[in-house]
């Protein structure tokens, strides 16, 4: 089992940061922003929060190399899924309709 440990105080600090970030996420939804900025802002904070959970609560910070590889590969496959799918959907109206081509 992992030799390195994270202190219980660190866990509590991380939890407080996560709760504060949740308040920020909800608060920003009351500010009038243009079209997709709410989603963009929410996802940026969400990614930060998820990283904190994975690094501290799931102990990725003190995990062995194999576990880190699994995490990195998961992110890579998810990235492929997101990027390739959105490349299709977001570019459908980018090119004019050209019958015969």
Partner 1 sequence: MKLSDSTIWTPEERAIIEQDTMLARHRLEEQYANLEQQHETAALGMWVFLATEVMFFGALFVGLGAYIYLHHEAFEKASEKLNWIIGGVNTVVLLVSSLMMVLAVHAAKAGKQRGLFLFLVLTALLGICFLCLKGLEYYTDWRDNLIPGWRFDEQEWIDRAHLTPNQVPQVKLFLMFYWTMTGLHALHVTLGIGAVLAMAVLARRGHFSPVYYSPVDVTALYWHFVDTVWIFLLPMLYLIGTHTAADLHF
CB 59 within 8 A of CB 2: yes
Task: Give the whole-angstrom CA distance, residue 25 versus residue 41.
Answer: 8
* Binding letters toward partner 1, positions 9-28, x by CB under 8 A: --xx-xx--xx--x--xx-x
Task: Give the whole-angstrom CA distance, residue 42 versus residue 26.
Answer: 9
Q: Applying CB under 8 A, does 61 fall inside the site for partner 1? A: no
The structure tokens listed for 86 are 């959105």
Task: Give the whole-angstrom CA distance, residue 1 versus residue 63.
Answer: 9
Shortest CB 95 distance to partner 1, Å: 16
> Residues in the site for partner 1, rule: CB under 8 A?
1, 3, 5, 8, 11-12, 14-15, 18-19, 22, 25-26, 28-33, 35-36, 38-39, 41-43, 45-46, 49-50, 53-54, 56-58, 63-64, 66-67, 70-71, 73-74, 77-78, 81-82, 85-86, 89-90
């Amino acid at each position: 089992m992992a030799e390195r440990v994270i202190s219980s105080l660190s866990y509590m600090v991380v939890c407080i940061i996560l709760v504060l970030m949740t308040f920020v996420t909800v608060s920003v939804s009351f500010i009038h922003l243009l079209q997709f900025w709410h989603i963009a802002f929410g996802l940026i904070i969400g990614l930060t929060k998820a990283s904190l959970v994975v690094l501290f609560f799931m102990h990725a910070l003190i995990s062995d190399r194999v576990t880190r590889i699994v995490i990195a590969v998961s992110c890579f496959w998810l990235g492929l899924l997101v990027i390739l799918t959105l490349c299709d959907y977001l570019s459908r109206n980018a090119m004019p309709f050209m019958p015969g081509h």
